[in-house]
């Protein structure tokens, strides 16, 4: 029951590079990919668009449970609008982190996440993939990097996109998010039992991808 289709769970803090690593590992193995953070971001964007009461946990959970979302390859469509870029805005990420602390919202997104587990396998990235959603994953990785390295990466990403950014603001946003994600009462960001810890502060994305693939190959034996 535990390993019908293999799951590789990759958890870590914001801007740690886990999205890039998880996505590429899934490509290389021909596995499906779940970006669980995108689901929290979609719930946040949906709440903003609908002017939902951000203090009403029940209403937010209802929104999350009935997200009119459609994944078209790499594109994410919410109620007929392509929101692939819109959900990446800092404002949406910050709100996602806030509503992700609400138990009813997490519960509402639980089943949706399990549904991504399909043959031949899944690579799932987030905060609680190895601890809560896929506790029986055959490989668990906790991917991290120093706050400074992550702020620098986020800064470069924004500048490349032509979005102006301030490194000090990014650093303090990252710290606030880390604090909230790590210290919340439910499904906090912690390495799962048995997780391999991968600090990518001084690694390229390719090196991190090769390391995860190598752990995956070893875990098959
Ligand atoms: O990975 P990300 O930055 O796209 O995630 C946005 C927010 O969603 C993050 O700050 C916390 C929340 N999140 C979560 O609580 N659990 C997950 N599995 C994924 C994301």
- The alpha carbon of 14 and the centre of ligand 1 are apart by a number of angstroms equal to 7
Higher per-residue pLDDT: 71 or 220: 71
Q: Determine whether the shortest distance from the Cβ of 181 to ligand 1 is under 6 A.
A: yes
- The alpha carbon of 187 and the centre of ligand 1 are apart by a number of angstroms equal to 11
Give the span between the Cα atoms of 121 and 136, in whole angstroms.
13
- The alpha carbon of 64 and the centre of ligand 1 are apart by a number of angstroms equal to 14
Q: What pTM does this model have? A: 0.92
pLDDT digits (tens, 9 = 90+) for 158-198: 899 888 889 999 999 999 989 998 999 998 999 999 999 99
pLDDT digits (tens, 9 = 90+) for 87-96: 988 889 989 9
How does the average pLDDT of the chain come out, rounded?
Answer: 93
Instruction: Give the start-to-end residue ranges of the domains of the chain.
Output: 7-219
- Exposed/middle/buried for residue 212 (C-beta within 10 Å: 0-12, 13-18, 19+): buried
Is 7-219 assigned to CATH 3.40.50.300? yes
Q: Determine whether the shortest distance from the Cβ of 41 to ligand 1 is under 6 A.
A: yes
Closest CA to ligand 1's atom 4: 37
pLDDT category of residue 33 using cuts at 50, 70 and 90? very high
Phi, psi of 13 (to 5 degrees): -75, 170
Q: Are 7 and 137 in contact (CB under 8 A)?
A: yes
Q: Are 106 and 16 in contact (CB under 8 A)?
A: no
Closest CA to ligand 1's atom 1: 37
Q: Determine whether the shortest distance from the Cβ of 100 to ligand 1 is under 6 A.
A: yes
Looking at residue 1, what is its pLDDT?
Answer: 40
């Amino acid at each position: 029951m535990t390993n019908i289709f293999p799951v590789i769970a990759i958890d870590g803090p914001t801007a740690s590079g886990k999205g890039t690593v998880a996505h590429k590992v899934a490509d290389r193995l021909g596995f499906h990919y779940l970006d669980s953070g995108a689901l929290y971001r979609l719930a946040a964007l949906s709440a903003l668009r609908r002017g939902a009461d951000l203090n009403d946990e029940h209403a937010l959970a209802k929104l999350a449970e009935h997200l009119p979302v459609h994944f078209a390859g790499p594109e994410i469509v919410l109620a007929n609008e392509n929101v692939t870029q819109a959900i990446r805005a800092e404002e949406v990420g910050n709100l996602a982190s806030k509503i992700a602390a609400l138990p009813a919202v997490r519960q509402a997104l639980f089943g949706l996440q399990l549904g991504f587990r399909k043959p031949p396998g899944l690579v799932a990235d987030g905060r609680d993939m190895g601890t809560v959603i896929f506790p029986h994953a055959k490989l668990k990785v906790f991917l991290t990097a120093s706050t400074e390295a992550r702020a620098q990466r986020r800064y470069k990403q924004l500048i490349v996109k032509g979005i102006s950014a301030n490194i000090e603001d990014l650093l303090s946003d990252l710290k606030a998010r880390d604090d909230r994600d790590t210290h919340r009462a439910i499904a906090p960001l912690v390495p799962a039992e048995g997780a391999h810890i991968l600090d990518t502060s001084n690694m390229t994305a390719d090196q991190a991808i090769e390391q995860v693939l190598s752990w995956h190959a070893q875990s098959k034996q």
